[in-house]
Structure 1
Amino acid sequence: MGRRFAHAADDYERMIAEIARQQGFVVETIDGDVFFVIRSFSPSGEEVVSRVNITRFAEGLEKHLS
């Protein structure tokens, strides 16, 4: 997936990723998109891994603020 957004979204993406790291989240890049990873456990004790797409959020933020 190619980048289709302005440089401001790149800045938002870096800022959000840095905040996520500071808060103790693991940050990963998958196919050009940046995610922070949330690991939790279901009531049955099974590990659940969720990935929040920082890139998509940054694109939306840039569009909203422009």
Structure 2
Amino acid sequence: MIDMRMKNAQLEVAQVGKFDFVIINELFDRALFDLKAIVHSQRLKISAQRRARAETFQALNIL
């Protein structure tokens, strides 16, 4: 099982350039913080905000 996980990890590391974010799970608390930050940042993107706050965007006549 560990051998398989290590092989998968090597394949994932080789593909790192294809991803927008990288979380290195060396310290659990730090990795969790980073993951939460990514989720939060995705919720703040214009496309997400436009959907979530359509009425506000319309009232302000933006986008």
TM-score range, shorter chain: 0.3 to 0.5
> Which protein is bigger by CA-based radius of gyration?
2
Task: Report the structure, 1 or 2, having the larger helix content.
Answer: 2
Task: Report the structure, 1 or 2, having the larger strand content.
Answer: 1
When normalised by structure 2's length, the TM-score is: 0.34
Higher relative contact order (CA 8 A, sep 6+): 1
